Amino acid sequence: GENVEQHPSTLSVQEGDSAVIKCTYSDSASNYFPWYKQELGKGPQLIIDIRSNVGEKKDQRIAVTLNKTAKHFSLHITETQPEDSAVYFCAAILGGGADGLTFGKGTHLIIQP
């Protein structure tokens, strides 16, 4: 069936280094790809999203790239800081989008001091 694959499930990086999380999707008709950050005890919060008419979008230390041909998109965080430690989810609207977003399984990002 339609799904979103996310890797890695856990990522540990030194403070100041970059972190990259990758996702692939199955529905070639998908055209909206958000990323959510979930901190402990809170619900997921949208941090950046990209639509299929662009290949890259940046917001300060966060960027997302999209390759529609290969059906994959990635989250890039530069100059990581302790407050970046959280669980990150990619998502896509699959199968026409009538039933909302389909999420990847999440990446637990750990920033080592």
Binding status of residue 32 toward another protein by CB under 8 A: yes
To another protein, the closest distance from the beta carbon of 47 in angstroms equals: 10
The reply to whether omega before 8 is within 30° of 0 (cis) is yes
Binding status of residue 11 toward another protein by CB under 8 A: no
CB closer to another protein, 32 vs 61: 32
> Is there a contact between 12 and 66 (Cβ–Cβ < 8 Å)?
no
Q: Which helix H or strand E contains 48, and what residues bound it?
A: strand 45-51
Q: Which of 52, 42, 38 is nearest to 87 (CA)?
A: 38
CB closer to another protein, 85 vs 102: 102
Residues within the interface to another protein (CB under 8 A): 31-32, 34, 36, 38, 41-46, 49, 51, 87, 89, 93, 97, 99-103, 105-106, 108
